[in-house]
Structure 1
Amino acid sequence: MQKINVLIIEEFKYIADLNVLELKRGGFEVDSKYVCSEDAMRQALCSKQYDIILSDNSTPHFNAIQALLTRNELAPKTPFIIVSEDVSPESIKYAMKNSCCAYLLKENLHQLAILVKNIIKRNL
């Protein structure tokens, strides 16, 4: 089993837990940190190195684009995936131009582990 450190930006912990569950189902041993604000994300990125960042877009006052820009500032080499059902095509285009690795609809969460494996493999 491959061990990964995951930072999850999500409004609700139970949804963050669903991300972790899908990664575990996909064969990962997961050490995760759940945050829902920019300050908490900054603290997390300053205290630990993560293998991947998963971000929802509907966290109040802190969307996926803001999280991506924070990642670009503090941990630019850490892969970043938007996992959300609420992202405009313009935001997705902007995110991809700013080093977002992928966008996954929450209804396709069962594909998360495969996506993460491929992204981590590419970044080795």
Structure 2
Amino acid sequence: MQKIKVLIIEEFKYIADLNVLELKRGGFEVESLYVCSEDAMRQALSFSSYDIILSDNSTPHFNAIQALFTRNELAPKTPFIIVSEDVSPESIKFAMKNSCCAYLLKENLHQLAILVKNIVNRTI
């Protein structure tokens, strides 16, 4: 089983837990931290490194683009995936131009482990 350390930016912990559950179903041993603000993300990245960052776009006062810029500043080599149903095509295009690895609709969450496996194994 592949170990993975994940930082999850999400408004609700139960949704963050769904991300973790899908990764576990996909064969990962998951260590995760859930945050819902820029300050919490900055603190998490200052104390630890992560194999991947998953970010929702509908967290109040802290969207995926803001989280991506925070990642670009503090941990630019950590892969970043937007996992959300609330992102405009323009925002997705902008995110991809700014080093976002992928975008996954929450309705396709069952594909998360495959996507993460491909991205993490590509960056090792």
Normalized against structure 1, the TM-score is what?
1.00
Matching residue of 1:110 = 110
Matching residue of 2:78 = 78
Q: Which runs of 4+ in 1 moved over 3 A?
A: none
SS in 2 for 1:77: coil
Task: State the number of aligned residues.
Answer: 124
Q: Cα deviation per residue 1:26-65 (whole Å; 9 max; x = unaligned)?
A: 0000000000000000000000000000000000000000
Matching residue of 2:29 = 29
Shift of 1:70: 0.1
Percent identical across equivalent pairs?
A: 90
* CA distance, structure 2, for counterparts of residue 95 and residue 119 of structure 1: 16
Quote the RMSD (CA, aligned, Å).
0.3
Q: Cα deviation per residue 1:48-91 (whole Å; 9 max; x = unaligned)?
A: 00000000000000000000000000000000000000000000
Matching residue of 2:10 = 10
Shift of 1:101: 0.1
* CA distance, structure 2, for counterparts of residue 9 and residue 60 of structure 1: 11
Shift of 1:111: 0.1
Matching residue of 2:67 = 67
Shift of 1:121: 1.1
Q: Cα deviation per residue 1:75-123 (whole Å; 9 max; x = unaligned)?
A: 0000000000000000000000000000000000000000000001111
1:42 aligns with 2:32: no
* CA distance, structure 1, for counterparts of residue 26 and residue 46 of structure 2: 28
* CA distance, structure 1, for counterparts of residue 56 and residue 122 of structure 2: 23
* CA distance, structure 2, for counterparts of residue 47 and residue 32 of structure 1: 14
Normalized against structure 2, the TM-score is what?
1.00
* CA distance, structure 2, for counterparts of residue 122 and residue 4 of structure 1: 14
